């Protein structure tokens, strides 16, 4: 698990350092230490939006006979063998390390060739299926989903609309890695600690898809502009000057 978690961050950092591009290295450094770039109001709104998604999902699930005590916190985390403190550290590190790889290189490497709508679609698929090996590791959340094929399918499908949401967070904060780390942490934490049933998480995928559609509609220029295509780093550098 740890090797898999580190892989995107290590590979992307090595690619950047060996690229021979001073502009790429400078951009990576700015994203890593540029805390000032975070638009905190946007991050707060993103967290609130995801909290609303969870509330709406639970309320919708009540119509299908799911328990109302989902409006509570779980006593433990879904993955086993590391303890509560270890689990908390795990989701924190996962949020930090993953985003170094995803936002440090992966999203931009795709976005340089297309608009952010299609980038979000492709990234969502990649991000989702990057978790695939976890279903074979006993004790992980993904392995626990194997009791029902629908739960497994839902997990991988849910990563696609989430790809749009986190791209929105990323771009709204001028491609800030920190903004995505914070949002990613809260998503992981709420998914783990809110007592959602597996059935409700299937409904949650529908709700987050609707939210992703609304975000894209509200931010059409952000998702469909092509001014950056082929010159992402140069374009963003000129925008900041």
Q: Catalytic residues, which ones?
A: 98, 131
Instruction: Give every CB contact of residue 197 below 8 A, 6+ residues apart in sequence.
Output: 61, 66, 67, 70
Question: 115: exposed, middle or buried (C-beta count within 10 Å: 0-12, 13-18, 19+)?
Answer: middle
Instruction: Give every CB contact of residue 75 below 8 A, 6+ residues apart in sequence.
Output: none
73 forms bridges with which residues in the sheet? 194
By the 8 A CB rule, do 216 and 117 touch?
A: yes
What is the DSSP annotation of 127-177?
HHHHTGGGGGSTTSHHHHGGG-HHHHHHHHHHHHHHHHHHHHHHHHTTS-H
Q: What angle do CA 127, 129, 135 make, to 5 degrees?
A: 125
Backbone angles phi, psi at 75, to 5 degrees: -80, -25
Q: What six digits make up the tokens of 11?
A: 């590979």
Quote the CA–CA distance of 141 and 136 in Å, as a whole number. 11
Quote the CA–CA distance of 182 and 200 in Å, as a whole number. 24
């Amino acid at each position: 698990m740890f090797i898999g978690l580190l892989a995107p961050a290590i590979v992307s950092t090595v690619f950047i350092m060996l690229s021979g591009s001073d502009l790429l290295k400078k951009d990576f450094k700015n994203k890593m230490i540029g805390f000032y770039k975070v638009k905190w109001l946007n991050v707060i709104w993103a967290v609130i939006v995801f909290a609303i998604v969870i509330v709406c999902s639970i309320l919708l699930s009540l119509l299908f006979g799911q328990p109302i005590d989902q409006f509570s916190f779980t006593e433990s985390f879904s993955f086993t063998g590391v303890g509560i403190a270890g689990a908390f550290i795990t989701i924190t590190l996962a949020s930090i390390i993953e985003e170094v790889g995803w936002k440090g290189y992966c999203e931009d490497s795709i976005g340089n060739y297309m608009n952010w709508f299609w980038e979000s679609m492709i990234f969502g698929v990649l991000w989702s299926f990057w978790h695939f090996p976890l279903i074979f590791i006993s004790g992980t959340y993904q392995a626990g989903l194997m009791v029902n094929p629908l739960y497994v399918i839902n997990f991988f499908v849910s990563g696609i609309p989430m790809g749009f949401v986190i791209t929105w967070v990323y771009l709204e904060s001028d491609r800030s890695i920190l903004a995505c780390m914070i949002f990613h942490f809260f998503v992981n934490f709420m998914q783990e600690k809110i007592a959602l049933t597996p059935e409700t998480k299937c409904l949650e995928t529908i709700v987050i898809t609707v939210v992703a559609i609304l975000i894209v509609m509200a931010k059409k220029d952000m998702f469909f502009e092509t001014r950056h295509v082929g010159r992402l780093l140069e374009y963003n550098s000129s925008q900041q000057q």
